A and B are shown apart, each in its own frame.
Chain A
Amino acid sequence: MKLGSRLKVISILHMLFALVLATVLVWIFERVGTEGQKSCSASQLVKSVFEINLIANDYILYHEPRAVEQWRSKQESLSAEILASEALFTRPKHLEILREIRGDYERIKGSFAELVAQRGRNLPASAGAAVPEFEKTLIVHLLADSHRIVSNASLLEKAGFSDLAEDQKKAAWVMVSLTVLLMIFIFLATAVFRRKMVDPIVRLQQGAGIIGSGNLDYQVGSAEQDEIGQLSRAFDAMTLHLKASRTEIEVYRRLVEMTGDGVLRFRPADGRILFLNRGLLRLFDLGGEPRQLTGKMLPEVLGHDGCRGFIEALCRDPRDLRNVECLYKTFSGEDRWLLLNAFLFEESSKGPKVLEAVVKDISERKRIENFKDEVIRNVSHELRTPLHAVREGINVILDGLVGTVEEGHRDILTTVKGNLDRLVRLINNFLDFQSLDAGVLKLKPVKVRLSDLLEEIRSTLGPLARNKNLDLRFECEDARMEAEADRDRLVQVILNLAGNAIKFTERGKVAVEVRQKDGEVEISVADTGIGIEASDIPKLFTRFGQLEAGKFHASTGTGLGLAISKKIIEQHGGKIWVDPGYRAGSRFVFTLPLNA
């Protein structure tokens, strides 16, 4: 049953009880009133009999002439009173007494009438005269009957009083028992109310306390259909949900604890550590438990000099905190490379921001990379030395330094030399790329007049374009335009792009254009060649991407040109891309900061 209807039932029951009580009270008062009336009417009878006797006395002793009239009227009212009493008394015993009273009344009525008639027949006697014998008899009867009425009426009066007392006693009992009943009812109603409404709320409250103290296995449990039952079940469901969430959090916490990577949460505003894991302690050779360091200041915890690189990395622009490599020097002087990934997190719109960072030890990777670079350098050196000897030997022959060379031999030697040159180019490119990739290639920026640069490229590529009957065009918006760049590297990039353009174009033109745009120098190389599939564009600038894109012919390139060009341009602070909107062939564009 719902709480609302339950409360309704209780209040209706209370009202019914009140109604019963009121009815009983009314009944009791009525009964008491009736008993009072009985006593009254009996008293009235006694009084009237006395009055009628006085009247009779006046008549008998003093011959009062008005007494007859008075008697008659009194006699009528006495008769009416007897009638009224007969209506009031109901018990047979009382009715018997009333019948006697009625009989006596009739007799005194007869006796008095007889007396009046006797006195009328005889001479009216004067007062004080001797009373005749027959009158004496009548008077004696009259008095005796009157006396009996009085004594009977007194009996009735007494009976009325005792009835009243009895009824009062009964009424008191009824009142007491009703009150007791009402109390029992209230007690029961309160008990029900307590069991059905208060107890569940108390249980709920206790449950909340138990759950609040951390025992998420506790269930309040209720089969009731009322609102409190529903609330209890909702509460239990919430607890289960909470437990599931906590289990999940526990799993994450364990994983965070298990991982060898360092996990750190801290508030940049005041440098306070909010969380760190064992992995971080291990990375920085810190002792103790993570819990002990929570709440401390990061610069204090990582205060020694070796951590400077890491702290500086953390202080960078938050947008710049992806894959940051930084060096940590351990107390024993060992170098440790760390990879930092962090995210500036806003917990609430008002609160201070929190930096969440994952730190990985990449020393091993770095060591392998360095080893790889070392190996490549050594191998390239070892390759170059014999290559140089072979090439020089052929050159010496071809230059005629050891005598004349037959035409057939010259042809073969030229082919051998061409292939050697290609091998040398490949090694050079490869090493270029390695240096650029490692970021160790230092640019030598100078002021470069771009129109001069184009002239130089025209003289290099001109013969190549003429051989294929291509229209090689150079356009420079402003002949005085200058950029600050490593001249040789810039030439290398344009030669690479324009060389590729010529290589992949069979007819039409190759146009190199230089213009100023948005405060940068924009250089583009467009051709009318085979173009590039959109799906190949992302691969183009990667190592050997050209090879993968299937555009590369084994005899002509190294597959590293574009990757190297991209590195060079990016190291200049520029960007390089393929114009996706160009349909006539392909168009490469790169930018350089103007006079940067």
Chain B
Amino acid sequence: MPKTILVVDDEPDVMKFAVLRLEKAGYNVLTAVDGAAAIEAAVSGHPDLILLDIKLPKMSGYEVFKQMRARPDLAAIPVILVTADASVSIARHTVELKAEDHILKPYNAEELFEKIRRHIR
């Protein structure tokens, strides 16, 4: 049974390659382009891991993360925070929000897969 990964990103180009790579690696991939869609997809798709971009329209990734953790049905899903913003806040937020991990764009495929394997159950 292939594992399901939810990719949340508002950049369609980035999304396109991520989906391609993850599917080629044998994962079942769900997508969402904003916070509301992400929560909806998480509820309906039961992903095993979420790649959550911080910079999203309307609702920030942090806010989406908090809402997910507040819901009993979603709280247990591991989340890797993703951002292209290299300022330190991402690392700090990861620790403060108790997210599983974070990764900085642009990332290497090996790095991404290593982190996914570490957190997927």
Measuring CB to CB, which residues of chain A are less than 8 angstroms from any residue of chain B?
Answer: 377, 380-381, 384-389, 391-393, 395-396, 399, 401-402, 420, 424, 427-428, 431-432, 435, 440-442
CA–CA, A393 and B13, complex, Å: 9
- Residues of A contacting B92 in the complex (Cβ-Cβ under 8 angstroms): 442
- Residues of B contacting A420 in the complex (Cβ-Cβ under 8 angstroms): 106
A388 with B106: CB separation less than 8 A: yes
B55 nearest CB neighbor, chain A only: A381
Which of B17, B18, B84, B87 interacts with A435 by CB under 8 Å? B87
A385 with B105: CB separation less than 8 A: yes
- Residues of A contacting B13 in the complex (Cβ-Cβ under 8 angstroms): 386, 389, 393
Interface residues of B in 91-109 (CB under 8 A from A): 92, 105-109
With contacts A381-B84, A431-B87, A442-B92 taken as known, whether A388 is within 8 angstroms of B105 at the C-beta atoms is yes
- Residues of B contacting A384 in the complex (Cβ-Cβ under 8 angstroms): 84-86, 105-106
Contact with A along B62-91 (1 / 0, CB 8 A): 000000000000000000000111111000
With contacts A388-B106, A391-B106, A442-B92 taken as known, whether A377 is within 8 angstroms of B18 at the C-beta atoms is no
Which of B17, B86, B87, B88 interacts with A392 by CB under 8 Å? B17
- Can you list 9 A-B contacts with CB-CB less than 8 angstroms, sorted by A residue number? A381-B55, A381-B83, A381-B84, A384-B105, A385-B11, A385-B14, A388-B106, A389-B14, A402-B20
Which of A388, A402, A428, A442 interacts with B14 by CB under 8 Å? A388
- Residues of A contacting B24 in the complex (Cβ-Cβ under 8 angstroms): 401
B21 with A396: CB separation less than 8 A: yes
A440 with B86: CB separation less than 8 A: no
Which of B11, B21, B86, B108 interacts with A431 by CB under 8 Å? B86
- Residues of A contacting B107 in the complex (Cβ-Cβ under 8 angstroms): 388
CB distance from A233 to the nearest CB of B (A): 74
A424 nearest CB neighbor, chain B only: B106
A393 with B88: CB separation less than 8 A: no
- Residues of A contacting B14 in the complex (Cβ-Cβ under 8 angstroms): 385, 388-389, 392
CA–CA, A420 and B83, complex, Å: 18
- Residues of B contacting A441 in the complex (Cβ-Cβ under 8 angstroms): 88
CA–CA, A431 and B89, complex, Å: 13
- Residues of B contacting A440 in the complex (Cβ-Cβ under 8 angstroms): 87-88
With contacts A381-B55, A385-B14, A424-B106 taken as known, whether A392 is within 8 angstroms of B21 at the C-beta atoms is yes
- Residues of A contacting B20 in the complex (Cβ-Cβ under 8 angstroms): 396, 401-402
- Residues of B contacting A402 in the complex (Cβ-Cβ under 8 angstroms): 20
CB distance from A425 to the nearest CB of B (A): 11
CA–CA, A393 and B109, complex, Å: 11
- Residues of B contacting A392 in the complex (Cβ-Cβ under 8 angstroms): 14, 17-18, 21, 106
CA–CA, A442 and B86, complex, Å: 13
Which of B11, B85, B106 interacts with A377 by CB under 8 Å? B85
Interface residues of B in 1-47 (CB under 8 A from A): 11, 13-14, 17-18, 20-21, 24
CB distance from B52 to the nearest CB of A (A): 15
A386 nearest CB neighbor, chain B only: B13
* Nearest 6 CB-CB pairings of A with B: A388-B106, A384-B84, A392-B17, A389-B13, A388-B105, A431-B86
CA–CA, A391 and B18, complex, Å: 11
Other contacts beyond A384-B85, A388-B14, A428-B86: 15, CB < 8 A = A377-B87, A384-B86, A385-B84, A385-B105, A387-B106, A389-B13, A391-B106, A392-B14, A392-B21, A395-B109, A427-B86, A431-B87, A435-B87, A441-B88, A442-B92
CA–CA, A389 and B17, complex, Å: 7
Which of A386, A428, A435 interacts with B88 by CB under 8 Å? A435
CB distance from A334 to the nearest CB of B (A): 25
CA–CA, A399 and B24, complex, Å: 10
A432 nearest CB neighbor, chain B only: B86
- Give the residue among B14, B24, B87 with the most A Cβ atoms within 10 A: B87
B21 with A401: CB separation less than 8 A: yes
- Residues of B contacting A377 in the complex (Cβ-Cβ under 8 angstroms): 85, 87
CA–CA, A395 and B14, complex, Å: 12
CB distance from A567 to the nearest CB of B (A): 13
- Residues of A contacting B17 in the complex (Cβ-Cβ under 8 angstroms): 389, 392-393, 395-396
CA–CA, A327 and B48, complex, Å: 48
- Residues of B contacting A393 in the complex (Cβ-Cβ under 8 angstroms): 13, 17
B106 with A380: CB separation less than 8 A: no
- Give the residue among B13, B21, B86, B106 with the most A Cβ atoms within 10 A: B106
CA–CA, A441 and B21, complex, Å: 32
- Residues of B contacting A381 in the complex (Cβ-Cβ under 8 angstroms): 55, 83-86
B86 with A380: CB separation less than 8 A: yes
B89 nearest CB neighbor, chain A only: A440
CA–CA, A588 and B11, complex, Å: 44
CA–CA, A487 and B20, complex, Å: 34
CA–CA, A424 and B106, complex, Å: 8
A374 nearest CB neighbor, chain B only: B87
- Residues of B contacting A442 in the complex (Cβ-Cβ under 8 angstroms): 88, 92
CA–CA, A381 and B84, complex, Å: 5
CA–CA, A442 and B85, complex, Å: 16
- Residues of A contacting B86 in the complex (Cβ-Cβ under 8 angstroms): 380-381, 384, 427-428, 431-432
A435 nearest CB neighbor, chain B only: B88
A442 nearest CB neighbor, chain B only: B88
- Residues of B contacting A380 in the complex (Cβ-Cβ under 8 angstroms): 84-86
- Residues of B contacting A388 in the complex (Cβ-Cβ under 8 angstroms): 14, 84, 105-107
B108 nearest CB neighbor, chain A only: A395
B18 nearest CB neighbor, chain A only: A392
- Residues of A contacting B83 in the complex (Cβ-Cβ under 8 angstroms): 381
B15 nearest CB neighbor, chain A only: A389
- Give the residue among A385, A402, A441 with the most B Cβ atoms within 10 A: A385
CB distance from B97 to the nearest CB of A (A): 16
B12 nearest CB neighbor, chain A only: A389
CA–CA, A392 and B105, complex, Å: 10
B55 with A389: CB separation less than 8 A: no
CB distance from B29 to the nearest CB of A (A): 14
- Residues of A contacting B87 in the complex (Cβ-Cβ under 8 angstroms): 377, 431, 435, 440
B14 nearest CB neighbor, chain A only: A389
B87 nearest CB neighbor, chain A only: A377
CB distance from B51 to the nearest CB of A (A): 13
CA–CA, A508 and B24, complex, Å: 46
- Residues of A contacting B84 in the complex (Cβ-Cβ under 8 angstroms): 380-381, 384-385, 388
- Give the residue among A380, A392, A402 with the most B Cβ atoms within 10 A: A392
CA–CA, A392 and B21, complex, Å: 9
A392 nearest CB neighbor, chain B only: B17
- Residues of A contacting B18 in the complex (Cβ-Cβ under 8 angstroms): 392
CB distance from A45 to the nearest CB of B (A): 148
